[in-house]
A and B are shown apart, each in its own frame.
Chain A
Amino acid sequence: MIINNKKKIVMGVIGHDIHSVSNILMHKALKDSDYDVLNLGVDNHPDLYKDAIIEFGADVLLISSLNGEWKFWLPILQKSLNPLKTKPLLYLGGNIFSLNKKESEIELYKIKSYGFKRVFDRNKNFDNFFYYLKKDLNENT
């Protein structure tokens, strides 16, 4: 068996969301940066992420969501991941927050309560994401 030291990432778009563009780009960017990536693509039930984490052993789980899909599915994801002994780092990306500042603060609080470490809202590129990914995985930047 070949053992490599590559960090493992499971990624996908949550719920009935089919927005595939950034998912495809992010997958490529992660592969180019030498991560082991399992991309579940679009339209995934939370249980599939749990199964993927058990099978693949992920260090990080990247969830993306557009048009408010996360609001319904993240609590279900939290329940689904609950039995896992070791949980991966959870990141959320997409168009996440409401325009209203107060509302968006409540949303951030909720997302963190579901176990998410970081939220990337409407980022124009992946620079910010990679900066924090490397930091959180204790990789030298």
Chain B
Amino acid sequence: MKTLSNFFHKSRKEILRNKYLRNLKYEDTLIYLNSLNKFKFSFNNLDFSERPLIQPRGGFSSIPKQQKLNIELEKAGADIIPLTIDSFTRLNDYEGAEKVLIDENKLNKEILNGYPLVNHGYEKTREILSKVNLPVSLRHGTADARILVEHALASGITDIEGGGLSYCLPYSRKIPVEKSLLYWGYVDELCSFMSTNKKLIMRESFGVLTATLVPPLIIIIVEVLELLMSAQKGIKAFMMTFAQTGSLVQDIVISNVLRVISKKYLSKYDFNLDVLKIGYHHWMGPFPHNFESSNALIIQGTLNAALIKADKVIIKTKFESHSIPTIEANCEATKSVKYMLDIFKIKDTFTNEEILIETNNLVEQAECVLDNILKNKNKIDIIDICDAVNNGWVDIPFSPHPQNKNKVKTYRDHYGMVRFSDYGNLPLTDYLKEKDLKILSNNKDLLKNNNIIQAINWMVN
């Protein structure tokens, strides 16, 4: 059995005081996870699949409805079942969620916008998740997910999304980055502890960030930093992700750079992973309101997922701009996406001169920023990463977090590519900035689109 650090035990003592942990014993979780069929672990299924695996989104507050969703999604052909958590739980307001659940019972209607896993608890959740023979992924947005992840693992969830940066800067305003990174260190250590040779817990980063004009460089930086932090805690299966940018070229470039840079930095620090994958989110910005366009956008995102050779695609439904998806809408989307991926097969990602130039440019930029951030060359130092946020080297547009500098400014060019209009505090050399600007000016068709609202509503017609 792996050993847990002093930091972990100290931190656990603190959360044990929270009644919502309900005396959960992590030793029992390990025994339960070991008893599960290996196909309940997504890394296994990912390794065997020729096409991106399909993961819908969904979470309901009622247990029977959640169970129905899971069973219907399995029938519709989903490969990974989501468990999306409500906003009370995301912000650690378990007492608030409890009050709402009482109201829900009284009024006999759903109010929460997701599944309150901590309140329902791992016992009941384990029972409903055991009804499907697929891996389950925890989707949330919690900067302090320690209690939530304890319940999730004990429920048999083997895919844990989130990270100290990607679930803090876009999702929280009250938890300092310094704390979030420590809390996610706890989660990583716990997930690593629960992983055995044939049954690895998959940790997945959330490179979508605010899904609003985020420059590819920032996505790469966050994904690589979270990969390295998890790897240092002993995680052996990791998925880097990003969302459809609005430009196929940029999507291909991001996936290229993620593949190159991640391997390079893992070997720099001598980290060995068994499984390193890429996940692709359908368009995460404002969706079209009419079904014709939203269906088309979903199909386009699916095509892009296949073209970048994503290992998993996290899908949307035509109802995206209207509400959290219904069971029916989710099944319909799952079936369409599955049909498309089954008939569209390619051997390798395609490339051309433009993609090569953009890829090389982004690799150079990413290395420059990462080398500035990672001052300690022997280990990943959390202080270096905190400094990076506080210096504005990790700067996510439209983040609600007070530590985020909001100095980086971007726009969308004529071809839908997200470009820098202000590098903010990013530690890029003058040479790299000039090179970046030259790529833009070389292409005469790249008209600058100054209207920020139009750029955000790129997919809304």
Contact = CB atoms under 8 A, between A and B. Distances in A.
A69 B114 CA distance: 11
Contact of B321 (A95, A125, A126): A95
A95 B87 CA distance: 16
Contacts of B77: none
B100 A72 contact: yes
A42 B174 CA distance: 10
Interface SS, B side: loop
B307 interface: no
B174 A68 contact: no
B141 interface: yes
A43 interface: yes
B113 interface: yes
Given A21-B456, A95-B322, A125-B457, 19 more contacts: A16-B87, A16-B96, A18-B170, A18-B171, A18-B400, A20-B399, A21-B212, A23-B400, A42-B173, A42-B400, A43-B91, A43-B172, A68-B113, A69-B87, A72-B100, A95-B323, A99-B322, A122-B289, A124-B457
Interface in B88-136: 88, 90-91, 93, 96, 100, 111, 113
B363 to A, nearest CB: 29
B452 interface: yes
Interface residues of A, number: 24
B324 to A, nearest CB: 6
Nearest to A19: B400
B297 to A, nearest CB: 16
Contacts of B324: 67-68
A2 to B, nearest CB: 28
Nearest to B111: A72
A41 B210 CA distance: 15
B446 interface: no
A84 interface: no
Q: Pick the most buried of A18, A25, A98, A125: most chain B CB atoms within 10 A of its CB.
A: A18
B41 interface: no
A72 B87 CA distance: 12
Contact of B453 (A15, A17, A25): A25
Nearest to B322: A99
19 contacts: A16-B87, A18-B87, A18-B90, A18-B91, A18-B173, A20-B400, A21-B210, A24-B400, A43-B172, A67-B113, A69-B113, A71-B111, A98-B322, A98-B323, A99-B322, A99-B323, A122-B289, A124-B453, A125-B453
Contact of B90 (A16, A23, A24, A95): A16
Interface string A30-53: 000000000001110000000000
Contact of B174 (A43, A72, A122, A125): A43
Contacts of A98: 322-323
B432 interface: no
B319 interface: yes
Instruction: Pick the 5 closest A-B CB pairs, nearest first.
Output: A20-B400, A16-B87, A42-B400, A21-B398, A16-B91
B440 interface: no
Interface string A96-124: 00110000000000000000000000101
Contacts of B87: 15-18, 67, 69
A80 to B, nearest CB: 15
B327 interface: no
Interface string B278-289: 000000000001
Chain B residues touching A, range: 20 to 34
Contacts of B456: 21, 25
B368 interface: no
A10 B127 CA distance: 46
Nearest to B99: A72
B303 interface: no
B428 interface: no
A77 to B, nearest CB: 15
A68 B111 CA distance: 8
Nearest to A127: B453
Given A98-B323, A124-B460, A125-B453, A18 B113 contact: no
A15 B86 CA distance: 12
A15 B398 CA distance: 19
Contacts of B212: 21
A17 B170 CA distance: 12
A67 B172 CA distance: 17
B172 A99 contact: no
A71 B100 CA distance: 11
Contacts of A99: 319, 322-323
Contact of B93 (A16, A41, A71): A16
B134 to A, nearest CB: 25
Contacts of B172: 18, 43
Contacts of A72: 100, 111
A126 B172 CA distance: 26
A125 B399 CA distance: 20
A21 to B, nearest CB: 5
A75 to B, nearest CB: 10
Nearest to A95: B321
Contacts of B111: 68, 71-72
A20 B323 contact: no
Contacts of B174: 43
A16 B212 CA distance: 20
A69 B323 CA distance: 11
B452 A25 contact: yes
